[in-house]
Structure 1
Amino acid sequence: MTKTAWVFPGQGSQEPGMGIDLSELPLAQDRFRLAEEILGWSVLEACQEDSDKLNRTLYTQPCLYVVESILADLLLEKGNTPYLVAGHSLGEYVALYAARVFDFETGLGLVKHRAELMDGASEGIMVALMKFDRQQLEKLIEQTPDVVIANDNSPAQVVISGKPEAVQEVSTQIKAKRAVPLKVSGAFHSPLIAEVAAQFQEVLDAVAFADAQFPVLSNVEPLPTVEAAILKNRLQRQMTGSVRWREISMQLPVEGIEQVVEIGPGKVLTGLIKRMCPDLILQNIGSAKDFSA
């Protein structure tokens, strides 16, 4: 049997109209209804509205969680199971749900609180860098206070996060092909949101985690585990810690993975993995029509 990893994208992969074609399926109808009870607003309506609303953290994160978890459940319902799972930032919550570390309602409750807190984090900025000198970047980061590598996505793509003046200083000094400011409310995955992370910690502490049914590669520690206590500790560190997606990707062939299925809108993660692990079979499940394919 082919060893398959399921990976779940995070904020930035959202697309207007995502999840709409799922709305005719009974399983999805139940989830959308339950999500509206928990959130107090409709995921389907948010996904159909203008991109400005969908791109706001408050709506983006719950919408991605709901749509991706429905897609994962449809795969499981059809008898598909992964060898291991991983998710990029917000996607890690879907990975934990798919591995049955917590139920749908618990996961959405966590994501709701996370989105509300992060939406209100107004300090700091984030900038994506493409095709840069890594040695130079690491030296600049080391020399510049209040800026960190927030997302280490691939050898050729990272996101830096921190105080505006620090991020701008690094962005102007680094030799990079492109530097793109991200439309986010704060310096996510950096020490600047430590206060927000502390508030979220109180919410997370109250939630019981179960051992995972499939190993999970976590953002802050890209090594597989099924142990509930370890997974919870890693998630506690995720909000201020770096997303180590480059290392997660490189770990996949080490674990014997032969195929990767990206579950969610877009093809961001499979695009990154393709460049780092060209021998892996890649597939995308982003809508109902992808199941027939």
Structure 2
Amino acid sequence: MTKTAWVFPGQGSQAIGMGLDLLELPSAQRHFEQAQEILGWDILEICQSQEDKLSRTLYTQPCLYVVESILADVLLDRGNTPNLLAGHSLGEYVALYAARVFDFEAGLRLVKRRAELMDSASDGMMAALIGFDRAQLEQQIQQTPNVVLANDNSPAQVVISGTPEAVKDVLAKIKVKRAVPLNVSGAFHSPLMAEAANEFQEVLESVPFADAQVPVLSNVEPVPTVEAAALKNRLQLQMTGSVRWQEITMQLPVEGIERVVEIGPGKVLTGLIKRMCPDLVLENVGSVADLPAE
């Protein structure tokens, strides 16, 4: 039996029109209706909005959670079972849902509040860096207040987060092949999100977590666990903590994983994994057409 990990992408992987093909699945219709009751707006309407509402954090995160959860459910219903789970930032919530740590509704309520808090964050900036000297970058971050390494995605691709002044200061002092400011409202995955994280903690504490049915690698601590309390604590730290995706990726072969399936729109995570672990078999399930036969 091939040891398989499922990974779930986060914000930035969304695509206009995603999820529309899922309507042909009876189970998906129930989830879309349930989501509308909880959110007060229609996932599919946002996913095909010509005004690109989908790129706004408030909408992006719930839409990704719902679409990825439906795909995961169909795979599970058709007898596919992972040996390990992980998700990038928002994707960690889908990983926890797939591990049955909480049910669909509880997860969506958490994601809804997380999206509201992150969408209302301000005075922050994030920038993706491609092609840089890591030692030089880490030294500048260390010497510059109010900026951190927010997403350590791979040796060649990271995201820094902080006040606009601090981020621009770091970029001015390092050699980088490409720096792309991200279209986000705040300095996500940095200490500047502390106030939002404190508000979110109240909601998180009210949601019961069960032990995971499959081990989960968390963003802030890339060590597999099934323990409910540990998974909840890691999720609480996630809003201000760094996304350690490079470490998650390198942990996969250590855990004996031979195959990775990225569940959700796009191929961002499999692209990153391919460069770091070229021997792993990589697959993508982003639509009904990608699902295995019943």
What is the TM-score when the length of structure 2 is the normalising length? 0.99
Is 2:112 aligned against 1:112? Answer: yes
- List alignment gaps of at least 5 residues for structure 1: none
Q: Distance in 1 between matches of 2:238 and 2:292?
A: 35
Shift of 1:178: 0.2
2:104 maps to a residue whose letter is: F
Q: Distance in 1 between matches of 2:195 and 2:292?
A: 46
Is 2:75 aligned against 1:75? Answer: yes
Shift of 1:174: 1.4
Shift of 1:51: 5.6
Shift of 1:52: 2.7
2:166 maps to a residue whose letter is: A
Kindly provide the CA deviation profile for residues 235-266 of structure 1, in whole angstroms up to 9, marking residues without a partner as x. Answer: 00000000000000000000000000000000
Q: Following superposition of structure 1 onto structure 2, how do residues 159-174 of structure 1 map, counting pairs within 5 Å?
A: 159-174=159-174
2:220 maps to a residue whose letter is: V
Q: Distance in 2 between matches of 1:50 and 1:281?
A: 36
Structure 1 counterpart of 2:140: 140
Shift of 1:64: 0.1
Q: Distance in 1 between matches of 2:121 and 2:68?
A: 25
SS state of the match for residue 23, structure 1?
helix
- List alignment gaps of at least 5 residues for structure 2: none
Q: Distance in 1 between matches of 2:52 and 2:176?
A: 28
Q: Distance in 2 between matches of 1:51 and 1:81?
A: 38
Is the Cα contact below 8 Å between 2:126 and 2:167 reproduced in 1?
A: yes
Kindly provide the CA deviation profile for residues 33-82 of structure 1, in whole angstroms up to 9, marking residues without a partner as x. Answer: 10001000000111011263000000000000000000000000000000
1:236 maps to a residue whose letter is: Q
Kindly provide the CA deviation profile for residues 179-233 of structure 1, in whole angstroms up to 9, marking residues without a partner as x. Answer: 0000000000000010011000110011110000000000000000000000000
Shift of 1:173: 1.3
Is the Cα contact below 8 Å between 2:75 and 2:292 reproduced in 1?
A: no
Number of equivalences: 293
Is the Cα contact below 8 Å between 2:267 and 2:284 reproduced in 1?
A: yes
Q: Distance in 2 between matches of 1:95 and 1:171?
A: 33
2:5 maps to a residue whose letter is: A
1:4 maps to a residue whose letter is: T
Q: Distance in 2 between matches of 1:228 and 1:172?
A: 43
Q: CA RMSD in A?
A: 0.8
SS state of the match for residue 291, structure 2?
helix
SS state of the match for residue 262, structure 1?
strand
Structure 2 counterpart of 1:205: 205
Structure 1 counterpart of 2:53: 53
Amino-acid identity (%): 77
Structure 1 counterpart of 2:85: 85
Structure 1 counterpart of 2:236: 236
Structure 2 counterpart of 1:285: 285
Structure 1 counterpart of 2:184: 184
Is 2:283 aligned against 1:268? Answer: no
Q: Distance in 1 between matches of 2:51 and 2:179?
A: 22
SS state of the match for residue 247, structure 2?
helix
Shift of 1:123: 1.7
* Segments of 4+ moved more than 4 angstroms: none
Q: Distance in 1 between matches of 2:253 and 2:278?
A: 10
Is the Cα contact below 8 Å between 2:16 and 2:52 reproduced in 1?
A: no
1:208 maps to a residue whose letter is: P
Q: Distance in 1 between matches of 2:198 and 2:131?
A: 34
Structure 1 counterpart of 2:248: 248
